[in-house]
Amino acid sequence: MNSHQNEIRFQPDGIRIRVGNGATILEAAQRAGIVLNSFCGGIGTCGKCLVELEDQAEPVKACQYHVTSDLVVTIPDSSRFFEQKILEEGITGTAKLDPSVRKDYLELTPPSLDDLRSDDRRLIDAVHESAKQSDEAVEPDTSVEADQNGAAEKGGEPDKIALKIDRDLLGKLPGVLRENDFRVTAVRNGNRVFAVEPGDTSGELFGVAVDVGTTTVVANLVDLNSGKTVAVASQTNPQVTYGDDVISRIQHSRDNPDGLEQLHSLIIGCLNELVQETCREAGVSAESIYELVAAGNATMQHLVLAVPVVQIAEAPYVSAFSAGVNASAQQLGLKINPHDNVYVMPSVAAHVGGDTVAVTLSAAMRHSSSINLALDIGTNGEIVLGNRDRLLTCSTAAGPAFEGARIRQGMRGAAGAIERVHINDDVEIAVIGGGRAAGICGSGLIDALAELLNADVIDPSGKLLSGDDLGENIPAAIRRRVIEVEGRPAFVLVEKDQAKQDEPITLTQKDIREVQLGKGAIYAGMVTLMHLLEIEPDQISRLYLAGAFGNYIRPESARRIGLLPNIELGRIQSIGNAAGTGAREVLLSRLARKHAKNLSVEMEYIELAGRAEFQDIFGKSMMFPKP
Amino acid sequence: MNSHQNEIRFQPDGIRIRVGNGATILEAAQRAGIVLNSFCGGIGTCGKCLVELEDQAEPVKACQYHVTSDLVVTIPDSSRFFEQKILEEGITGTAKLDPSVRKDYLELTPPSLDDLRSDDRRLIDAVHESAKQSDEAVEPDTSVEADQNGAAEKGGEPDKIALKIDRDLLGKLPGVLRENDFRVTAVRNGNRVFAVEPGDTSGELFGVAVDVGTTTVVANLVDLNSGKTVAVASQTNPQVTYGDDVISRIQHSRDNPDGLEQLHSLIIGCLNELVQETCREAGVSAESIYELVAAGNATMQHLVLAVPVVQIAEAPYVSAFSAGVNASAQQLGLKINPHDNVYVMPSVAAHVGGDTVAVTLSAAMRHSSSINLALDIGTNGEIVLGNRDRLLTCSTAAGPAFEGARIRQGMRGAAGAIERVHINDDVEIAVIGGGRAAGICGSGLIDALAELLNADVIDPSGKLLSGDDLGENIPAAIRRRVIEVEGRPAFVLVEKDQAKQDEPITLTQKDIREVQLGKGAIYAGMVTLMHLLEIEPDQISRLYLAGAFGNYIRPESARRIGLLPNIELGRIQSIGNAAGTGAREVLLSRLARKHAKNLSVEMEYIELAGRAEFQDIFGKSMMFPKP
């Protein structure tokens, strides 16, 4: 492995990324946020990740092609996980471009003695006609049916959309119609017409889908006419000023009179900057953005809306809201079209937020007949298990080990982090961004433990062997790496560079224990849900790994250390930033929004804290599985 | 007739009114805004207006009992027009107390490990349960049915109300629940929960129904728990500063940059004062008012919402809106509960406003199998004709004669106005408030013309006869009253009081012509609608006279001069401030609100200006009918 950097450009996305020599195209795509099929777990047997290279006639397997130079890589839809899933499984509803926000360019007949309809009725009739012509599925006007006196209602128009004009728009309506010879573009969200623009602006229709993470906020600017993402931007969540995790932010809001408002202002400011950045990049006016969909954990979603969070951190831990919320962009201080809607995703519980609903939505678990499992690992690990009949979900305190915290030389998955470890006769490592290693991140840690288990340097109890405990077959180069740090065994991953007088990078016994705690909790959560659903691991059709961590993890290593259950590698699929994908689906499809709403009600939250069974399994799960 | 004033107190309403000697109890009740049955036209034959007097064992006919002293009068429901109509015709929907605004006192189970529902879901579940227990008809949650992929939706709860919590409320929800041990009162409007109050406030639930007239604004404070009006207040519309009629107000808004805002602020200020006045009178806090329903002509309704009105006065005359509008009290500047809803009635056309919809609603014309006609006379005369199969409506330029304008000594129906004229051997008059006459109002004018026609002082062409043209049978006292004013004949209604050196009150030839123009237009409007519906006057089952004018008019005089068609007196019924009654129904009944919405779409507006037939009939209608 080598630190030389190569630029990979993915088409038709236009995304560029730099990776070191030896990385696969599959890994590079993951880094770029593009989820490729890897049904075989990236071992080259399924042939589903084919990509085209500029200078080669035949397509190549992305998982097998190691990068050694700059490349232009074209990825067909058939190799993309989400696109292909839609093609094969026919989740047409979710796939259909049917955004809640619509524009209709209208050439209205001006009023005359023969046609004295009021401005609002004239507009609504025309919008309805336009929707009918575009064969759009419209919401029926149920007000007539809902009549309670049982009498047959005359004159009802059951095929009419129950459109309503925003009260704020009424004041502008007579002017904008007459100043533009009754040629205007009506903008609506659902059944609410909220803007009328001069002339034909139907080509400019954008939305933003945001994954509001505790650590990182990612915004996708999406063209709602084409469904394509036109720009992506991300920022560190500025609330980190008040602490890395949700608990410290909640404490800040509790201990300071203005705490809630401060946290709210910070995230709104961040959203405004991300909107500006994506608009600048794509050459789009922020006025052309008509909706923003936000998915995050419950705490982040509360803070976006300035709703108190204290009760999330106090037993028995509940949210102020779990339904999806529509809020006014103007009221929240968002600098997009002032009449715009902000839709905050529905959630399940205080510890299973809108992000998990979005993950479940994007993996289409609600429509699958076979049983699937989704796992999103951060400080907490959210787990969803089930199929269209029943979906269980829980949250486990994964512990911060996988984010590099509480690990002696741990760090986040940033430049300088060891992200891959391979042990053969000696130790080989890959470092993010190449160059000298500065520490180790979650995926490197899992790799290291899996390889050390395979090399018999760690035993199934998690003990780091040394001296005579080490087997005779262990190569000398490996044996030499077992040293002592603070009186206890440690394993040297990167030796000290004598010239630079730096420190070696070592893995300590305590580091191993931290990983055991985290992976034990997640595994015990999965087993608890499996028990409740009365299934065995081999009945899990597919295991989805969501989030940045899911993208970088090596499934076989995760399975080896018992973070994942013992199922075929070919059934494990990384699905990237699935929370963002789900939020984009909700932005693009009214049906997806309904699915999300239904998911939030249907997903059964299992509180692990109250279960003796969980504690029992947790104790056993801290062990490593036998090979 | 005598000017002595007697105090009449109506029970159980508790309303007091002063009337002169000789007025009937029926007339006094009309003055007090209480609509009694008068199926026989007040001639004493139907026996439907029975009332009880404190000192009499037997009930008396209100139309036949002439007041000569102070009285306490008890009116049973069976003599009240609206209450009795509901009893007999069974318009149960409209009658049923089912306000859009509801309160539910809830004793919620606090969250526990076994019940981790979010605050919003906990609240909504409890409201739903409360509604179910009170056997309230609830709106079905249609979102599941509306699913577009055709797949059977699981887990849907079709009997669940599609309740939504206001985004503004979410921020307060965790605090108010926990500070009150989860004992709170939820307030909702339709399916929107918009307030949560500490403890049990379910007893305090009020609304305001307002008739926003061009001249007078009348507010009813209504207890939504009992359906009873607890206070009434009225004020002159302060917009009169900018002109008496809608046209001059529209001109003011057109000619002044701040004109619209000025007119809007004036009416909002007026509504605030009326709310304060009724609250003070009834001892109710304005915070306990949760909805305000406003009915007015299109211009008034636009000005309440600050929506431009210029297009109402420019050909071809259209409204900015005709749908019912829900607006925020806070946004409009109304000083009631800041989260309250203001509902502005749906209307039909620029000249057939929400007040006419309210009149039609209160007369239950949409549910009648027989054909009825409603007439509301002001500066314009709005006419509605039809039954449950079809309802036609039009507006005629009645001219201001009936409001006393353009009449030489005309005045509004206020103290000092001649309101009744009777001619026998000489002229007898009744003056509002008693005392010396200062002028003549609409009802007096109609009476005077009818009596002069009967006395052969006016001929069917409208000519005021004098000298030899007067028949020989005409008593000397009458003959002496025909004088000359400005070279043309005039009739002296009240002779000069020599002691006071005042002016006589006379009726001029020009005054008669003005009345002919106004009554001709109204009559022609009615005939046009009858032609379109292909009916004759005798097919009109009932003719409703709405508004203050309808209350004071003597039906036989109106019929004599040809303002009303030639139908039996017993079919003519004054229905008082029916616009206010309709607004109150909408406040008290969700079904009535739906009926109003449907009415506004179903009522067919007939534009008379474009009809040759109307011009033709108008020309003929200016003549007076032969006796």
HEC secondary structure over A496-559: CCCCCCCCCEEEEHHHHHHHHHHHHHHHHHHHHHHHHHCCCHHHCCEEEEEHHHHHHCCHHHHH
**At B530, which helix (H) or strand (E)?**
helix B509-533
Number of Cα atoms under 13 Å in the Cβ half of residue A53:
16
Amino acid type, B220 = N
For the record, the structure tokens of A312 come out as 């999330």
Distance from CA of A475 to the nearest CA of B (A): 53
State mean pLDDT over B418-441: 89
Whether the pLDDT of residue B229 is over 70: the answer is yes
Residue B148 is nearest to which of A137, A307, A610, comparing CB atoms?
A137
Whether the pLDDT of residue B141 is over 80: the answer is no
Would you call A532 helix, strand, or coil by DSSP?
A: helix
Q: What are phi and psi of B406, to 5 degrees?
A: 60, 10
| ipTM rounded to 2 decimals | 0.85
For residue A176, give Cα distances in angstroms to A165, A388, B302.
14, 48, 17
User: Same topology for domains A206-344 and A356-400+518-621, yes or no?
Assistant: yes
Q: A322 and B121: CB-CB below 8 Å?
A: yes
Amino acid type, A373 = L
**Chain B environment of A394 (Cβ under 8 Å):** none
Please give the pLDDT value at position A501: 72
Q: A310 and B174: CB-CB below 8 Å?
A: yes
* Domain B359-400+518-621 part of CATH 3.10.620: no
For the record, the structure tokens of A465 come out as 């062997």
Mutation to test the A interface, candidates B109, B149, B367, B601, most A Cβ within 10 Å: B149
Distance from CA of B487 to the nearest CA of A (A): 43
Beta-ladder partners of B9: B16, B72
Q: A167 and B325: CB-CB below 8 Å?
A: yes
The DSSP secondary-structure symbol of A9 reads E
Nearest CA in chain B to A98: B148
For the record, the structure tokens of A526 come out as 């999965």
Q: What are phi and psi of A266, to 5 degrees?
A: -65, -45
The DSSP secondary-structure symbol of A235 reads E
In the block, tokens 């028990």 appear at A531
Residue A316 is nearest to which of B112, B171, B308, comparing CB atoms?
B112
Whether the pLDDT of residue B45 is over 90: the answer is no
* % of chain B beyond a pLDDT of 90: 67
Alpha-carbon span B592 to B95, nearest angstrom: 8
Alpha-carbon span B357 to B363, nearest angstrom: 10
**Chain A environment of B607 (Cβ under 8 Å):** 113, 116
Q: B350 and A147: CB-CB below 8 Å?
A: no
Superfamily of domain A5-89: Beta-grasp domain (3.10.20.30)
Please give the pLDDT value at position B88: 52
**At B132, which helix (H) or strand (E)?**
helix B119-133
| Interacting residues of A31 by C-beta distance below 8 A, sequence separation 6+ | A17, A19, A551
Residue A121 is nearest to which of B146, B165, B322, comparing CB atoms?
B322
Strands A341-344 and A229-236, bridge-based pairing: unpaired
Q: A305 and B170: CB-CB below 8 Å?
A: yes
Tens-digit pLDDT profile for residues B196-218: 999 999 999 999 999 999 988 99
| Interacting residues of A574 by C-beta distance below 8 A, sequence separation 6+ | A30, A35, A38, A544, A545, A550, A551, A553, A555
Tens-digit pLDDT profile for residues B16-32: 888 888 888 988 888 77
B308 vs B555: which has the higher pLDDT: B308
Residue B142 is nearest to which of A98, A142, A331, comparing CB atoms?
A142
Q: A610 and B113: CB-CB below 8 Å?
A: yes
Tens-digit pLDDT profile for residues B108-140: 999 999 999 999 999 999 999 998 887 565 443
User: Which value, in Å, is the radius of gyration of the alpha carbons in chain A?
Assistant: 27
Q: A117 and B325: CB-CB below 8 Å?
A: no
CA–centroid distance for B152 within its chain:
49
Look over chain B and give the mean of its residue pLDDT values, rounded to a whole number: 88
Q: A156 and B349: CB-CB below 8 Å?
A: no
For the record, the structure tokens of A255 come out as 């201990």
Nearest CA in chain A to B312: A118
Counts of helices then strands in chain B (DSSP H, E): 19, 27
C-alpha closest to that of B618 among B385, B626, B609: B609
Distance from CA of A126 to the nearest CA of B (A): 15
Instruction: Count CB atoms within 10 A of the CB of residue B485.
Output: 16
Tens-digit pLDDT profile for residues B47-94: 889 999 988 889 999 989 999 999 999 998 888 887 766 555 443 334
Beta-ladder partners of B517: none
Strands A216-223 and A206-212, bridge-based pairing: antiparallel
Q: B388 and A307: CB-CB below 8 Å?
A: no
C-alpha closest to that of B478 among B466, B488, B468, B486: B466
Q: A146 and B140: CB-CB below 8 Å?
A: yes
Between A and B, how many CB-CB pairs are < 8 A? 193
Distance from CA of B430 to the nearest CA of A (A): 44
Q: B308 and A174: CB-CB below 8 Å?
A: yes
Beta-ladder partners of A140: A161
Q: Are A623 and A461 spatial neighbours (Cβ–Cβ below 8 Å)?
A: yes
- The architecture that CATH gives domain A356-400+518-621 is 2-Layer Sandwich (3.30)
Q: B111 and A316: CB-CB below 8 Å?
A: yes
Residue B121 is nearest to which of A305, A307, A323, comparing CB atoms?
A323
Please give the pLDDT value at position A202: 96
A22 vs B460: which has the higher pLDDT: B460
The DSSP secondary-structure symbol of B311 reads G
- Alpha helix locations (H) across A101-172? 119-133, 167-170
Number of Cα atoms under 13 Å in the Cβ half of residue A374:
30
Q: Is A323 left (phi over 0), alpha (psi -120 to 50) or beta?
A: beta
Q: A170 and B325: CB-CB below 8 Å?
A: yes
Instruction: Count CB atoms within 10 A of the CB of residue B280.
Output: 12
How many residues are listed for chain B in this entry?
A: 627
Mutation to test the B interface, candidates A96, A166, A167, A351, most B Cβ within 10 Å: A167
Q: What are the sequence ranges of the domains in chain B?
A: 5-89, 101-141+159-198, 206-344, 359-400+518-621, 402-514
Alpha-carbon span A36 to A30, nearest angstrom: 8
Strands A289-296 and A341-344, bridge-based pairing: parallel
Would you call B550 helix, strand, or coil by DSSP?
A: helix
Name the CA dihedral angle for B90, B94, B96, B101, rounded to a multiple of 10 degrees.
180
Counts of helices then strands in chain A (DSSP H, E): 19, 27
Distance from CA of B124 to the nearest CA of A (A): 10
Please give the pLDDT value at position A538: 94
What parts of chain A have a pLDDT lower than 50?
Answer: 1-2, 90-94, 138-159
Q: Are A250 and A314 spatial neighbours (Cβ–Cβ below 8 Å)?
A: no
Whether the pLDDT of residue B147 is over 80: the answer is no
Amino acid type, A181 = D
Q: A594 and B305: CB-CB below 8 Å?
A: no
Distance from CA of B119 to the nearest CA of A (A): 5
Q: Are A174 and A180 spatial neighbours (Cβ–Cβ below 8 Å)?
A: no
Strands B183-189 and B101-107, bridge-based pairing: antiparallel
Alpha-carbon span A611 to B395, nearest angstrom: 73
Q: Are B624 and B566 spatial neighbours (Cβ–Cβ below 8 Å)?
A: no
Superfamily of domain A206-344: Domain of unknown function (DUF4445) (3.30.420.480)
Number of Cα atoms under 13 Å in the Cβ half of residue B210:
31
Residue A154 is nearest to which of B119, B170, B388, comparing CB atoms?
B388
Please give the pLDDT value at position A90: 41
Would you call A571 helix, strand, or coil by DSSP?
A: helix
| Interacting residues of A165 by C-beta distance below 8 A, sequence separation 6+ | A120, A123, A124, A173, A192, A193, B321, B323
Which fold would CATH assign to domain A101-198?
Ubiquitin-like (UB roll) (3.10.20)
CATH class assigned to B101-141+159-198: alpha beta
Q: B120 and A320: CB-CB below 8 Å?
A: yes
The DSSP secondary-structure symbol of B390 reads -
Amino acid type, B607 = E
For the record, the structure tokens of B429 come out as 């008059």
Q: A306 and B147: CB-CB below 8 Å?
A: no
Q: B113 and A143: CB-CB below 8 Å?
A: no
Alpha-carbon span A117 to A115, nearest angstrom: 6
Q: Are B34 and B80 spatial neighbours (Cβ–Cβ below 8 Å)?
A: yes
Nearest CA in chain B to A116: B318
For the record, the structure tokens of A70 come out as 């700059």
Q: B318 and A118: CB-CB below 8 Å?
A: yes
The DSSP secondary-structure symbol of B558 reads H
Task: Using the Cα atoms of residue B299, residue B303, residue B304 and residue B307 in order, give the sign of their dihedral.
Answer: positive
Residue A167 is nearest to which of B164, B305, B597, comparing CB atoms?
B305
Distance from CA of B602 to the nearest CA of A (A): 6
Distance from CA of A205 to the nearest CA of B (A): 23
Distance from CA of A240 to the nearest CA of B (A): 23
Alpha-carbon span A274 to A219, nearest angstrom: 6
